[in-house]
Structure 1
Amino acid sequence: MKDTFLQHRIIADILKEDTTISYAEWQSRVFRPIKPFYKDLDRLIMAKTTGLVKANPYKWNSQSKQTARQCLTKQKWNFSHENLPYRPDGVAAFVQLSDYESGALHVILWGMSWWGKKKDSLPILELFESTKGDGKLVESPSTIGYSGTFLRIFSNTMTIEEVLALKHDIKDEISDDIAGIVNRMNDYLSKP
């Protein structure tokens, strides 16, 4: 439990960080401390699911943008299934500390996401709608710098206070939630 509380404290401290600090400071104060958490989480998720493969972190070419910082606080696992329609590499499970695009700052959030052309989104929207469980389904249209449609299932979102108040390991909750969605997606896509 001591290690669990320590990881919860690290997450809380990261969620409090000011995103205007330099990129080098961000790497040392955020990216390095969160790596062990994501390594442990990766092992748990891979043990509980079928069809997920850890994705390489997205590389952002400008270190001054908030998006570069966000890429360092996000872990993704690509989902694959032979019956997955359209751009299968676009479906992924994710865990993210703050989301600057949706304005969800100072929270940890997790679920599934897909990005692709608007005309290709209907089958994925149906898949997500059928498998979201208690999660919240959000569709984001094109914005400046992004073309296409972004679909996300937010399985859960926790504030700093909620993370610190947990009596169990947050990694168990995250991995169980993601495994639940992935298992429902596998079942849905395997239907004749």
Structure 2
Amino acid sequence: MSTLTWLITGASSGQGAELALAALKAGHRVVATARQVRKAQELLPEIESLGGVWLALDVTSADAQDIAEQAVLRHGVDILVNNAGYGLRGVLEDLRTPFQNAVDKPECVMSEAYKGTMADLTAQRITAGHGRQAGDPKKAAQAIVEVVTGTGRGSGLEEVQRLPLGRDAVQRAYVKIRSLTEDVERTKEVAEWAVFDESYDGYPPLE
């Protein structure tokens, strides 16, 4: 197995940290990014002790692209992991602007009108499950490294375009596939009708 260089954003905690450690333990080089490098070094001394390097990078800053380009030129990058995403679920009406957040005022966590509704129950379910998810971040990181490199459990899987991780992810993927397939089958006739009588889109047929 050849040694690869990984650039992993958001590597100071969570899945990003586990992935950085897994890649390093597998013998790869890692450029781990964090907004606060000094804090990351204190929290994760293993990154550097295993041969990784930290890079100060805030993906929302104006100079993020320049910093990333310099990292590529200096270290060379084979694998890029955009790991800095963050999902926030809630009721649209509870969205707050920076001005509203800056003003000190008492308010409920959720608007009174939404209490007891499906939105409230969904939010409670998500909150109750925090920290008790079935997915194992360490195993997920190892799975990613093995699939990307075609080693271990990932042997022969290097070319896959999607990697659902966890039983829940597999189950939801199958549900989505079934739903999509059913819709395509039901609408196939009208969908194929909606073209010019004589036309060719210029693209080769899909295989």
Q: TM-score range by the shorter chain?
A: under 0.3
TM-score by length of 2: 0.25
Higher relative contact order (CA 8 A, sep 6+): 1
Larger C-alpha radius of gyration, 1 or 2? 2
TM-score by length of 1: 0.26
